[in-house]
Amino acid sequence: MRTLRYSFAPMEGITGKILREVHAAHFPGVDRYCLPFLSPTEVHVLSPRQKRELEPGPLPQDRLLPQLLTRSAEDFVWCASEIADLGFGEINLNLGCPSGTVVSKGKGAGMLRDPDALDRFLEAVFSGCPIPISVKTRLGLEDPAEFSAILSVLNRYPIRELTIHPRTRRELYDGPVHLDAFAAAVRNASAPLCCNGNLFTPASVQSVAEAFPTLESVMLGRGLLADPALVTRCKGGERTRAALLAFHNDLCAEYLRIMHPNQAVLPKLKELWAFLRLLFPEDGSWKRMRKCKTWAEFYPITQELLQNQPLLEEADFPRLGQTAVSASDPM
Ligand SMILES: Cc1cc2nc3c(=O)[nH]c(=O)nc-3n(C[C@H](O)[C@H](O)[C@H](O)COP(=O)(O)O)c2cc1C
């Protein structure tokens, strides 16, 4: 029987080194943790923050996948070479980021606008990069039909793995995914595929695995933030309240060790709880949490939920609403 590989999706601002390591310590099952994108600059120096993300830790490098967001082949090859020198064996190219500021600079999903330019970029990075390259993409900018031309370009290169988020840039992370477009990619892609998007329950993962028997991997993002035990459960394990509480409280302790409680830990935990709250019945807590100005106000609400409130069988995603990429982002 096939073994499906599970990746934790990269989520900028959320799935940093601390969250990845604390998650792995409490919830077995995730095969690979994808790092949020690094943006190499033309000065060709890794910032202290970028270096910290890539530092060795409890997770071995073959369970980590760094990602680059750039439209410069030269900067990509430079940064991938630095990352290879640190011992990583694969690098991921971001062709999916829908943020207005990123797309307007022709990066992320902006690279899908011109398949010929993408071809030239890929030619340069595949000939210069010392380690295998995987790619994470969307279907296009406006229309899923754009993907057939994009895929013809991608098929010319030895992509280690192609993760498809079957939405266009315009759709951000909202609405249904285009599984018909993903099915066409399964028929036509040369690279091994990974499916990403709206896999929020073990049943939804199972149905994608059944629909696509050749699929090698799935990538889960928001589902794992809402239910950190999601992959554990997909692999036959259980979610326990004790593990959730220990994960959450270790995460808080690790953040508090190096960050300011009100200025840094509070906004970070609000981002996590925007998803984790979906595991609890709606009771007004999230409204109160969002209004908190201090860590001292916020933390007791988390403890009341985690210790005393019922856990839903599955996270209640219909309550999520629209996922803002960034409130300040021009589209
Ligand atoms: C806040 C946020 C940050 C994200 N950051 C990245 C990123 O750095 N790189 C990337 O390729 N995708 C990024 N994504 C997209 C996710 O990796 C994933 O494709 C998306 O959440 C859809 O998967 P899901 O439905 O399982 O959540 C981000 C998504 C969100 C909501």
Average pLDDT over residues 190-202: 98
Amino acid at 26: H
Average pLDDT over residues 319-327: 67
The confidence score (pLDDT) of residue 259 equals 97
Residue nearest to atom 1 of ligand 1 (CA): 11
| Secondary structure (DSSP) of 131-154 | S-EEEEE-SBSS-GGGHHHHHHHH
Average pLDDT over residues 144-171: 98
Average pLDDT over residues 241-251: 98
pLDDT at 34 over 80: yes
Q: Is 244 in the pocket of ligand 1 (CB under 6 A)?
A: no
Helices (H) and strands (E) in the chain, counts: 14, 9
Average pLDDT over residues 273-290: 97
Average pLDDT over residues 200-212: 98
Atom of ligand 1 nearest to the CA of 96: 11
Q: Is 200 in the pocket of ligand 1 (CB under 6 A)?
A: no
**Higher local confidence (pLDDT), 2 or 173:** 173
pLDDT at 325 over 60: no
The confidence score (pLDDT) of residue 328 equals 40
Q: Please provide residue 7's backbone torsions phi and psi, each rounded to the nearest 5 degrees.
A: -115, 140
Q: Is 9 in the pocket of ligand 1 (CB under 6 A)?
A: yes
- Percentage of the residues of the chain whose pLDDT score is greater than 70: 97
The confidence score (pLDDT) of residue 330 equals 40
Q: Does domain 5-234 have CATH number 3.20.20.70?
A: yes
Residue with tokens 């190499």: 40
Hey, which of 173, 230, 231 would you mutate to test ligand 1's pocket, going by the most ligand atoms within 8 Å of its Cβ? 173
Q: Is 66 in the pocket of ligand 1 (CB under 6 A)?
A: no
The confidence score (pLDDT) of residue 331 equals 39
How many angstroms separate the alpha carbon of residue 308 from the centre of ligand 1? 30
Atom of ligand 1 nearest to the CA of 271: 1
182, 207 Cβ separation under 8 angstroms:
no
The confidence score (pLDDT) of residue 326 equals 46
Report CA 211 to chain centroid distance, whole Å. Answer: 23
The confidence score (pLDDT) of residue 321 equals 83
Residue nearest to atom 28 of ligand 1 (CA): 11
Residue nearest to atom 21 of ligand 1 (CA): 221
Relative to beta strand 5-8, strand 32-34 is parallel
Confidence band for 23, pLDDT divided at 50, 70 and 90: very high
Q: Is 223 in the pocket of ligand 1 (CB under 6 A)?
A: yes
Atom of ligand 1 nearest to the CA of 196: 23
Confidence band for 312, pLDDT divided at 50, 70 and 90: very high
The confidence score (pLDDT) of residue 276 equals 98
**How much is the mean pLDDT over the chain?**
96
Q: Is 221 in the pocket of ligand 1 (CB under 6 A)?
A: yes
* 56-86 per-position pLDDT tens digit: 999 999 999 999 999 999 999 999 999 999 9
pLDDT at 327 over 70: no
